[in-house]
Amino acid sequence: MPESTKTIHWVGDLDGCCRLIDQTLLPGECKEIDCTDSACMWDAIKRLAVRGAPAIGVAAAFGVILGIRGSKAGDRDAFLADLKQTTDYLASSRPTAVNLFWALDRMNRVAHAATDLDVAALKQRLFEESKAIWDEDREMCRALGRHGQTLLADGETALTHCNAGGLATADYGTALAVFFAAQEHGKTIAVFADETRPLNQGSRLTAWELQNAGIDVTVICDSMAGQVMKEGRIHKIFVGADRIAANGDTANKIGTYSVSVLAKEHGIPFYVVAPTSTFDLKSPDGDAIPIEERDASEINRGFSELNTPEGVAFYNPAFDVTPHEHVAAIVTECGIIERPDTSKILDHFRENGLLAEEGS
């Protein structure tokens, strides 16, 4: 496992601590924080020291452990009250993060379900659950990498957009998992990373992760991707996803759609790498996915002094939707969906037992 993407993990037993990379200091400095109480974790989530949906879920679960392991509750009910106080507190750190609530709910449910355990055993049971959440996230990343790396041959060069990397997960990411796994399989690969304006997740985070792993990485401006493809330098394209509709239309960081059009023009396979949890089967296609519009300050003041005239208008869509016709395959933790459409995606879910509620 690449040491470079130990985004978040637990050190030691129940008396240990949660160690995480302070991502606000990247790429200038890679400093780890040892959180020993829930206030430290609350602060880390709040100020984006830990970010990315899966990583936030893991952070929340570990934050619960930090909050309740010192509970002086004499009985189960008192302990559950302490637990609720901790989860309510952690929930206030980033109220819009879906994975935060998902993880806190899961911890509460486990505690309530374990009616036969005393306080000491409950603490241990929750500790095991937090590590299970971490483990599942790692397993998901590994499975994505395992399947995805079959699509990238020794000696090939890939292009990626934004940061679908280890820094957003407990392990080595989604799209970037493909590169790490290819390297582990002994393949020599190279990666072009779009800088990914306006917030530069490509040049700041993807470049940092790949450089640390010893993978040949070259940063380009987003506007250069077409030229690099035209020069014949790119064999495959791998991106992550924020949300995938039932037909395979994929919402991801703004600019992904343009990359998919350029890939089509140059006949380069364009792959989406994302866990099945990213699919929103209730959205029939990309038109059902709303595009978040964000503040102009990300463009005209991001990482710099004001560099545009005062008062000029901006348009700053945070995401775009890539039509499934542009997608050569979607890689999930269960395998590969070639030339995805609604029928193939449903088959994939069915074959992997992910449509349990079907017919009920």
Q: Which of residues 183-222 bind a copy of itself (CB under 8 A)?
A: 192, 194-198, 200, 203-204, 207-208, 211, 216-222
Q: How far is the CB of 16 from a copy of itself (least distance, A)?
A: 30
User: Cα separation of 290 and 207, whole Å?
Assistant: 29
Question: Helix or strand or coil: residue 13?
Answer: coil
Please tell me whether residue 31 binds a copy of itself under the rule CB under 8 A: no
Sheet holding 243-245, edge to edge: 279-280, 243-245, 250-253, 319-322
Q: Where are the alpha helices (DSSP H) in 149-234?
A: 175-184, 201, 207-212, 225-230
Helix (H) / strand (E) containing 331: strand 329-332
Give the closest residue to 214 by CA, choosing from 232, 240, 187.
Answer: 187
Q: How far is the CB of 29 from a copy of itself (least distance, A)?
A: 10
Q: Is the peptide bond before 27 cis (omega within 30 degrees of 0)?
A: yes
Number of residues that bind a copy of itself (CB under 8 A): 55
Task: Single out the residue of 41, 320, 329, 348 in contact with a copy of itself (rule: CB under 8 A).
Answer: 320
Stretch in the footprint of a copy of itself (CB under 8 A) among 15-23, 68-76, 102-110, 311-319:
311-319
Task: Single out the residue of 32, 105, 265, 287 in contact with a copy of itself (rule: CB under 8 A).
Answer: 265
Write the interaction track for a copy of itself spanning residues 94-123; mark x where CB under 8 A is met and - where it is not.
------------------------------
Q: How far is the CB of 188 from a copy of itself (least distance, A)?
A: 15
> For residue 65, what are the contacts with CB-CB under 8 A and spacing of at least 6?
10, 14, 18, 123, 126, 127, 130
Angle of CA points 139, 35, 204, to nearest 5°: 65
> Cα separations (Å) of 296 from 163, 306, 310, 316?
21, 11, 11, 6
Active-site residue set: 242
Q: Which of residues 274-293 bind a copy of itself (CB under 8 A)?
A: 291
Please tell me whether residue 150 binds a copy of itself under the rule CB under 8 A: no
**Residue 313 or 356 with smaller CB distance to a copy of itself:** 313
Q: How far is the CB of 210 from a copy of itself (least distance, A)?
A: 9
Please tell me whether residue 225 binds a copy of itself under the rule CB under 8 A: yes
User: Cα separation of 336 and 20, whole Å?
Assistant: 32
Q: Where are the alpha helices (DSSP H) in 149-218?
A: 175-184, 201, 207-212
Question: Helix or strand or coil: residue 132?
Answer: helix
Please tell me whether residue 223 binds a copy of itself under the rule CB under 8 A: yes
Q: How far is the CB of 164 from a copy of itself (least distance, A)?
A: 15
Task: Single out the residue of 3, 75, 186, 312 in contact with a copy of itself (rule: CB under 8 A).
Answer: 312
Q: How far is the CB of 206 from a copy of itself (least distance, A)?
A: 10
Please tell me whether residue 325 binds a copy of itself under the rule CB under 8 A: no
**Residue 145 or 198 with smaller CB distance to a copy of itself:** 198
For 267, other C-beta atoms within 10 Å of its C-beta total 7
Q: How far is the CB of 260 from a copy of itself (least distance, A)?
A: 8
How does DSSP assign 39-88, residue by residue? HHHHHHHHTTSS-SHHHHHHHHHHHHHHHHTT---SSHHHHHHHHHHHHH
Task: Single out the residue of 155, 284, 290, 317 in contact with a copy of itself (rule: CB under 8 A).
Answer: 317
**Residue 14 or 224 with smaller CB distance to a copy of itself:** 224
Where does this chain bind a copy of itself (CB under 8 A)? 27-28, 192, 194-198, 200, 203-204, 207-208, 211, 216-228, 230, 254-255, 257-258, 261-262, 264-265, 291, 299-300, 303-317, 320
